[in-house]
Structure 1
Amino acid sequence: MLDKLKKHYRNSITTDTSQQSGFLWFITDDGAPFGISQSAISDSESRLLRSMFNIYENDTITPAYSSAQLKWESILLGNESTDEESFYRFVHFFSKQPITDFISFSEAVNGLFPEDAVLLLNKDHKGGVIIETSKQEFTDTPYEALKDMLSTDFYIDISVYIGSYHHQLAHAKESFEREQQQFIEVKNQLLPKSVYTVADVVPQLLLQSANPVAEKTLHALLAEWDEEDQETLKSIKVFAECNMNVSLAAKKLYIHRNSLQYRVDKFYEKTGIDVKQFKNALTVYMAILSYEHHKNL
C-alpha cells in the first residue's frame, strides 16, 4: 500500500519523521510512518486516508517552547510558585485527533491572537491551551473563527472553551485544571457551537448536580408542553439568551418582533410565568435546558 501511495504522491510523500511542518502523518498496519504534504491532499483524500490509516504520533517530536511557554508550562505543572499578579485567561481547545504539525499549528494560532498569547499543547497533543495575557474582546479576536480555521486547515474537529478572567498567578494551576474539568464534565450535553463560555457550562453543571426535587420542579414547569409548541420553547430560550431583548431575539430567530411577542405572551397564558422578568426567565431557561437534555437521552 505504501508503495502505491509513493507512486501517486511522488515528491509529496516522505518517511523522514523529522519533516513535521506542513505534513499530515499516518502509520501503516506494519508500523511504518509516512507523511504527505498538506498542499497535495484534498479534503476528500484526507478523509479517505484517515479512514484507512491511524494518525502517527511521534513521541520524539516535542515543541520547541519559548521562555514564555516554558514559564507557563512550569506554572501549570505546579513546578513554579509566584505571588505575581497580572491578567490572564485560558482559551482551552480539545481535539479527538493529535496535532502532529506543531509549527504550522502555532503559526495559525499566532495569526489570530496577540503576540503576547502563549500556546501550550497537552502531553498527548490532543488539545491544549492558549493563554491570553492581555484583555481581548470578542470583537478584537475572532474566537468564533478559531474552530473553523483549525478544522479546515488541520482537518481536526476541535471544541473551544474560553475561561474566565484571572489575575493571581498563584492560583493559575488550580484555575486551569478546574476549567478543563468543568468543560469535560458537560461537553456531551452541550449543543454544537463555535465557542463555549462559562455561561454555557455552568447551567449544565448545575443540572447535573441537581437533587431529585429540583429536577422534578424543573420538569413540572413544562410537563404539559405539547410537541407542536417546540417553536415557542425555542423562542423563549433564545429570548432569555438575548437578555430578554425582543428585537435581538427576533433577529436571531429570523421572525418579526411581534411574532416573538406573541409567543412570549402565549407562554405566559399557558404557564403563568412572565419571562420578561429576569428571575422567571432564568428559571424557565434552566427548565428548557433540562427538558432538552432528557429529551435527547
Structure 2
Amino acid sequence: MANRLFQGVIHQMKDAVSRVIGVIDENGVIVACSDMKRIGEPIPGIKEELSFSNASLQQNGYTYRFLSTSAGKSDCIIFVEGEDKKADELSCVLSISLGSVKNLYDEKYDKSSFIKNVMLDNILPSDIYIKGKELHFDGETNRVVFLIKFYSHTDMLPYEIVQGMFPDKNTDYVINIGEQDIVLVKEVGGYEEPEEIEELANSIAQTLSTEFYSKVSIGISSVVVGLKDLARAYKEARIALEVGKVFDTEKNIIDYDNLGIGRLIYQLPTTLCEAFLQEVFKKGSLETLDRDTLDTVQRFFEYNLNVSETSRNLFVHRNTLVYRLEKIRKITGLDLRNFDQAITFKVALMVKKYLTNKPTKF
C-alpha cells in the first residue's frame, strides 16, 4: 500500500521534474516510477553499493539515495536520472519528502507503530479494538513484553540486532523507546512455562552482552491476552527493572511475577515506609550497625536462622555468632533468633534499601 502512495506522489511530481524519478524497495525492485513501464524492473546490487557510500551514489547515469525516515535510513532507495549536482540535490529533496510521506503512512498503518501507541497509552481504549481489527490483529493472542535496558552507549544499533533475532514482524514487535531501552512484544502460545520465557530472556541478554560488551538487564511482564492490556504489561516490565535494581542487584533478568515482597514495598508511599522504620528501630540504631554486622545478618537469613549452619559457613565459633546476635538485639531491640522479630528486621532492611535507592515510580 505504501508503494501506491509513492506512485501517487511521483505521478504528481512528474510534470514538474524533467527527469525520471522513482523508488526501489528493500528487494531491489522498482515499485514506483515516473516512467511506469519500469515498475517491477529489478536493480540488482544497488543496495549493497549504496551502503558503502556516505550519502548518494552515482552509477550508470542515475543518482541513488536511501529514503530518509524518522527511524533513520529506510531500506527503500530513491533514484533520479542523471549524475550531476542537480540530480544529487533532487534525490535529497525526494528522500526527505517521500520519507515524510512514509512516516505518516507508517503512523497510520504500521503494526509496530500501533503496538507502540497502545503500549505507551497514546490511543484511546475504545479505538484499540477498531484499529486492531483494521490491522488484522488476533484479539485472543497471548503476549509478553520484554523491556531490554543497556547500561552503556554504543555506536552499533542494538535495535537491529534484536530485530534480527525476531524477524517475524507479524507476530513479534521490536520497538525503540529511548537511547538505551528497547521493547520486544513477543507472541507466546497458551502453554509456555515461566521458565521458558525466562530462558528466552537469558538468551537475548547473553547475545546482546556478547555483541556489545555491555551489561544488559531485561524486565519481563506477565502474560497478557489481546491488545488492551499491553500498556499494563509494559508498566509491569518497567516496574520489574526498577524493583530488581533495588532488591536483586545481582540478577539481570527480572520477572514481574516473581518480585516477591519487593513489589509490595515498591507500591508503598515513602511516608509510610519512613514511619515503619521509625517504629521498628530505635532512633539511629540501624545506622550504628557496621557492614560486617549486616553481612552476618544476611548470612543468618540465608541459612534459615540456623546458628550452627551460619557459624560453620562464616568460619566462626558458634558462641561468636551468638555474641554478635546478642549485640544486635541490644542495639536494635530485635532478637533475630525469634522468627517474628527476624521477619520484621528483614523487611525493615528492605524498606531502608528502597528509601536509599529512590527508584522511579510507575
TM class by shorter chain equals 0.5 to 0.7
Counterpart-to-counterpart distance in 1, 2:75 and 2:343: 45
**Counterpart in 2 of 1:272?**
335
Decide which moves more: 145-154 or 185-194: 185-194
**Counterpart in 1 of 2:266?**
205
Deviation string, structure 1 residues 230-287 (Cα, Å, up to 9, x no partner)? 2222224545xxxx598xxx89xx939x999x9699759932355756xx66533321
Aligned length: 230
Post-superposition offset of 1:229 = 1.7
Post-superposition offset of 1:153 = 0.7
Cα separation, partners in 2 of 1:184 and 1:161, compared to 1, 3 Å: closer
The AA in structure 2 aligned to 1:213 is A
What's the secondary structure of 1:285's corresponding residue?
A: helix
Counterpart-to-counterpart distance in 1, 2:148 and 2:322: 37
Deviation string, structure 1 residues 72-120 (Cα, Å, up to 9, x no partner)? 346435363269344332221123537625333323467xxx9997242
Kept after mapping to 2: 8 A contact 1:91/1:129 = yes
Cα separation, partners in 2 of 1:169 and 1:142, compared to 1, 3 Å: closer
Residue 226 of structure 1 is aligned with which of 289, 309, 312? 289
**Counterpart in 1 of 2:163?**
106
Counterpart-to-counterpart distance in 2, 1:264 and 1:116: 62
Kept after mapping to 2: 8 A contact 1:207/1:290 = no
Pairwise mapping of residues 146-295 of structure 1 onto structure 2 (< 5 A)?
146-167=204-225, 169-176=227-234, 178-179=235-236, 182=239, 189-190=246-247, 191-198=249-256, 199=259, 202-203=263-264, 205-206=266-267, 209-211=270-272, 212-220=274-282, 223=285, 226-227=289-290, 228-238=292-302, 255=313, 267=325, 270=329, 271-273=334-336, 276=339, 282-292=343-353
Counterpart-to-counterpart distance in 1, 2:245 and 2:183: 20
Cα separation, partners in 2 of 1:273 and 1:238, compared to 1, 3 Å: closer
Kept after mapping to 1: 8 A contact 2:148/2:218 = yes
In structure 2, stretches of 5+ residues that fail to align are 1-50, 57-69, 77-105, 133-137
Cα separation, partners in 2 of 1:282 and 1:193, compared to 1, 3 Å: same
What's the secondary structure of 2:209's corresponding residue?
A: helix
Counterpart-to-counterpart distance in 2, 1:275 and 1:147: 41
Counterpart-to-counterpart distance in 1, 2:294 and 2:201: 31
The AA in structure 1 aligned to 2:195 is F
In structure 1, stretches of 5+ residues that fail to align are 1-12, 19-57
Kept after mapping to 1: 8 A contact 2:145/2:220 = yes
| Larger relative contact order (Cα-Cα within 8 Å, sequence gap ≥ 6) | 1
Matched, 1:91 2:146: yes
Counterpart-to-counterpart distance in 2, 1:259 and 1:108: 53
Kept after mapping to 1: 8 A contact 2:177/2:183 = no
Counterpart-to-counterpart distance in 1, 2:250 and 2:267: 19
Could you state the TM-score of these two structures normalised by the residue count of structure 1?
0.54
Of structures 1 and 2, the larger Rg is shown by 2
Cα separation, partners in 2 of 1:167 and 1:107, compared to 1, 3 Å: same
Post-superposition offset of 1:195 = 1.4
Post-superposition offset of 1:150 = 1.0
What's the secondary structure of 2:239's corresponding residue?
A: helix
Counterpart-to-counterpart distance in 1, 2:299 and 2:344: 15
Cα separation, partners in 2 of 1:276 and 1:136, compared to 1, 3 Å: same
Cα separation, partners in 2 of 1:153 and 1:17, compared to 1, 3 Å: farther
Could you state the TM-score of these two structures normalised by the residue count of structure 2?
0.46
Counterpart-to-counterpart distance in 2, 1:179 and 1:126: 18
The AA in structure 2 aligned to 1:89 is V
